Structure 1
């Protein structure tokens, strides 16, 4: 019993702090309530969970079980928790029928489901989707039934094995046909209430399955008939229609048809100053979805996808120009609604969704960043329990931040070639049809998406509290939301000046947690963001000792990958980490990190090769690694020294400095000195390190290696160095070098040679 009470307490606290994953938390709490016998409280949680996320099948399963316990108890007199006794007889009867329907779609075979869909019980379910007339219990059951019908496991089997005689006979086509027939029948009514009901049902269908909703709306003449008289309908009917159109525009085919038949109407609605706020924002979302994917649809039309018809999706742009309606105006509408504390919940969700699409536009990204009042409202919204409980809302906010902070990806050679071909095709089309529509502008060339502009936005967002908002959003159970949060933090950490603030506001702690658990891409992005922070920040300031140790595994995972920038940044971060902490060096060794570092030294990328060599140099202070390199032996030990000598003779200064630094550390071992001398060009490379053309940092490493060679090699080694004229160069360093450390080591080396009897 105590464990269930603790579960309830834990879920309640999580909901109060940041209920962005409310649907799943409510399911957990409901199960705990149920185990304690509090079925009424369990059902209340499940009802809310289903309405928040109709596609949450855990909630649907729990609803199916709990309605049997709560709404139809076997003995109401002995079931004090039941709420069925409070229902009037008519409502209780409707709920009883809907419970039976839920059992049918959950437990019945394909024939039973087909029979249910053919009769009036299914129509009752569609009618129960109406927010105005249906009770919360009825709507909960209706959403659960539709979610189960459209997302049934056998529906997937039927789709994948439709040509197989042994495949499932799940009646998905019948379900779609019946939904469409009901929609058309109710829509043909002259009653305002019936029309509102029709679109409320279609809205619920889109919420539970976009593909089923699209199959209805895209049927021949439906949108055309809707558009013919839409402007003359009541405001409530128009709002219901606009809500459906906004949902429908997530589907590409729907988006095209909506643009053809309803684009002009939607543009007029948004341009009216006195239009109903609910209607205006829903229309704005639909238009934004259509306009922000114009490039994609334009490419489809250029490929011959345009169909003959009464209109063209491009006519929407003409309608908007005629009404002086620009993307910026729509974004301003969405921002104003988000800033307005009196905005209704549904209106707020639509505004966030619309801005999530609008924020793909560079000019709107700049406006968002410059509007400090809006940023304050958005960040507050992200952290408020009473608004963040809606998963689509948190996803929308995370999308806005990811878009605004997004750096333009570097194009591969293949992508550059495809872009040139597309630009050429656009130019040819324009020349063939000079009076026709201009090709879509190349938004990828907008200077407001160049690196300096994006970095400026990132700095401003961090300054005004974006990190705290992202930390709150990351508590969502949605993998997609968490990925967007991590992606945003990765972008925000790109300018060096933001990294200290990210650490102070809990961003690094969040990234570390997300780098250890989650889907592959989220883990990789989190690790890369941490690498950026660890490259320039003092690890002793940025991370606690235990955090420094935890960083090793995700950074090594990046170093073993194929993404070159991530490999480079992870190696740079490891270089910094192992330079200050013996425990970190030991952890890198135990985790097999030396293999990753050594493999990176063979990279064709000079930056990766350099970073790997710098990390290796710092790892020489780890005793097991030192012994691995300093202990003589054929094969791997000798090859390691050979590689370090080769890298000490490359053109890149930083690589030479790191490789010769590793050799200088190893030269304190007689075994390592023996392996250096054994290499045919070993002495030549060492002598080259002290040439008068080298920088003092490398000269210092060279004289240190020479001193050790003479100490361990005695007169024989001294004579070889004299034959190569090294004593002359050492004398010049003693006389002319301004760095006292180099002057002192060079003098000491000459003294050792003289003491060994070397004639100079």
Structure 2
């Protein structure tokens, strides 16, 4: 394996890998690929070797895709295993580096193949023997990087001997080679965290870092590498190590308190997309991803657990503490919501928002986009930050990555990856607390485009109740912007049917937000107005009106206001009035509920069996106004004299007439003229029909 590699050879192999059967690749061809990975990082040779390795891997997976990934791995092992293993059986630095660097590249392109090779008997031992026979700094760095890659996979961690762990510990303590030091430290952290994850609890296996002081020292060392202007070659490892370490509350706090470090960390994200080789772009994207991972970790709130989940988590902590004789209290107050808010504000003050905006331009990968969504989601959790996010173009950043995700859906039935829900939820939070113009700009087309992601989040099978609530709220805000927007929302695929169901949800906030959205859509969309009884022969209109009547009588004031507001709008239609009159005749519930809205002190329900435990007892001018408008519209909307007189008879029996009289006499809840006028109009209709007041 001493032949030279040049661009022309690799170019020919790239074409060959894309058009020919892989069986036609000779051992010489594979040796060219293997040799290329020992070239300097920025070399065009190394860059094209990655392209070639990726093409071969994709070709194999495409051919073997009809079967299993194991078939693809087996074929790739047959291609690359022999030259790699042959190299690792040698004792000279050049041969060892050939095998080690190729394994490192394979971990990044098809980790299963690399894992299968490195897990073979004697491979890691042969690699570690090289550390006894050589003093090459480059070889040491390659070995540390390879062990770091292997430590990231459970299948490989069991093959890493204690000798390798001790070697990493020693190299992480030396100070003469910062690149080696950072690479060894990253490998140790990944190994330690991996072992702990494998055991599903804090264990003390060989080489595991369970000493908070040791992690603190590693954190300070990697911070120093980031801040240093001289040790640029170790940046990637330092950032990767901090991405792992920053999952600990103490590390999050330490990093957030160092404004110099934060500004230097954010500066690692370039403001322009690099025009360099693909290898450099890959390295740059990995660096951007690492910075974003650190940001996301520092800003992360504790998961919002349901009552059942919280109880299970408590029991789990008790069980773990019992096994390890540890106290059962919270791990750290540093994870409280208030402390996280303080950390987030420190990052915002240090310029994190501009860095996040640049990341979308420079790191064009799914992983980077997901980290951006996660970071912004955590930042906008605090309402105080939302204005700054909008000023920095954060809404545009979210919108861009969401549109990119939606564009990847190839069919109507394909479900969006749930990992993008956080980005949509972050955009929803901005849309809830700000006007559509502030969030999406003056172009109404952008507002139209926002409907689909909010609708998807509302209907997604993985959406939480909070995400459903915030999707409803965002759509409610959009629906009040312009009638054209409300019409577009009404036409969103499957949306109205899902909102109808959410109006019956037990969770008060979700139910409320659904009713408020329907109220706005009834007012702004002809389609929804007709759907809820505003047109003749509307399917299921009566049952929908019955639900609104029931919701106008619940104990949650906001829900009652929205439902009664929807009824007030719908009763402008004689068709809705006729349906409500039928409901009153069949269920005898419409007028008692309207009376309850106007004056709870006089209402008489025909049967206590019909009274919900969740009935409203509010004395609210808004409910009075809505109730009065409904009564006035209902009486004016019924042309049939017999039907109207039947309603008026019921109105007397349930106390509605008395409530109207009390209101006009100034004995009701309000004396506002805009309410008294329709009350007087309703009474005039009844007096004209012979009702005595």
TM-score by length of 1: 0.75
Q: 1:560 to 1:422 in 2, by over 3 A?
A: closer
Unpaired runs of 5+ residues, structure 2, are: 275-279, 409-415, 602-616
Structure 1 residue 421: Cα displacement: 6.6
Q: 2:60 aligns with which of 153, 178, 187?
A: 153
Q: Distance in 1 between matches of 2:352 and 2:98?
A: 41
Q: Deviations over 1:399-428 (max 9, x none)?
A: 222222223223467766765675465356
1:337-352 maps to which residues of 2 (within 5 A)?
337-344=225-232, 346-352=233-239
Deviation sequence 1:566-609 (CA, Å, 0-9, x none):
22111111222222322211222333543343232233433222
User: Which range is displaced more, 721-730 or 368-377?
Assistant: 721-730
Deviation, 1:105, is 5.3
The alpha carbon displacement at 1:637 in A equals 1.9
The correspondence of residues 271-670 of structure 1 with structure 2, limited to 5 A, is 271-272=173-174, 274-299=175-200, 314-317=205-208, 321=211, 326-344=214-232, 346-385=233-272, 389=281, 390-411=284-305, 419=313, 422-423=316-317, 426-427=320-321, 429-430=323-324, 445-475=331-361, 476-518=363-405, 520-521=416-417, 523-543=420-440, 544-546=442-444, 547-562=446-461, 563=463, 564-591=465-492, 593-622=495-524, 624=526, 625-628=528-531, 629-633=533-537, 635-670=539-574
Q: What displacement does 1:195 show?
A: 4.7
Aligned equivalents of 1:473, 1:93: Cα separation in 2 = 35
Does the C-alpha gap of structure 1 residues 515 and 720 become closer, same or farther in structure 2, counting only changes over 3 Å? same
| Residues 259, 290 of structure 1: 8 Å contact kept | no
In 2: Cα distance, 1:93 partner to 1:655 partner? 72
Measured after TM superposition, the shift of residue 648 of structure 1 is 1.4
Contact 1:524 1:558 in 2 (8 A): yes
- What is the count of residue pairs matched by the alignment? 637
Q: Which moved more, 1:398-407 or 1:641-650?
A: 398-407
1:482 positional shift:
1.0
1:168, 1:351 → 2: CA distance? 33
CA distance in 2: counterparts of 1:504 and 1:212, whole angstroms? 47
1:739 to 670, 676, 686: 670
Q: Deviations over 1:49-82 (max 9, x none)?
A: xxxxxxxxxxxxxxxxxxxxxxxxxxxxxxxxxx
- 1:174 counterpart (67, 78, 81): 78
Deviations 1:172-227 (A, max 9, x none): 443354134323233x23xx555555544443444443333333433334434554
1:368 to 1:93, Cα distance in 2 relative to 1, 3 A: closer
CA distance in structure 2 between the partners assigned to 1:747 and 1:169 by the alignment: 82
Aligned pair partner of 1:268 in 170, 189, 209: 170
Deviation at 1:159? 10
2:252 aligned counterpart, secondary structure? helix
Work out the CA distance in 1 between the residues paired with 2:234 and 2:273.
Answer: 15
The 1:259–1:572 alpha-carbon spacing in structure 2 relative to 1, beyond 3 Å, is farther
| Partners of 1:162 and 1:532 in 2: CA distance | 40
1:685 matched to 2:590 = no
| Equivalent residue number for residue 149 of structure 2 | 247
CA distance in 2: counterparts of 1:444 and 1:175, whole angstroms: 51
Instruction: Give the RMSD, CA atoms, in angstroms.
Output: 3.6
| Superposed displacement of residue 719, structure 1 | 4.3
The 3 A distance-change label for structure 1 pair 455 and 703 is same
Matched position secondary structure for 2:666: helix
SS in 1 for 2:594: helix
Tell me, in whole angstroms, the C-alpha distance in 2 between the residues paired with 1:417 and 1:738.
Answer: 45
Distance 1:565 1:405 in 2: 19
Please say if residues 155 and 172 of structure 1, whose CA atoms lie closer than 8 Å, have aligned partners that are also in contact. no
C-alpha spacing 1:156/1:633, structure 2 compared with 1 (3 Å) = closer
Q: Cα distance, 1:157 vs. partner? A: 1.8
Per-residue CA distance 1:252-273 (angstroms, 9 max, x = gap): 233344473322232233234x
Larger relative contact order (C-alpha < 8 A, sep ≥ 6)? 1
The runs of 5 or more residues in structure 1 that have no matched partner are: 1-89, 303-312, 432-437
Deviation at 1:281, TM superposition (A): 0.8
**Equivalent residue, structure 2, for 1:759:** 692
TM-score, length of structure 2 as denominator length: 0.81
Deviates more, 1:512-521 or 1:744-753: 744-753
1:745 deviates by 4.3
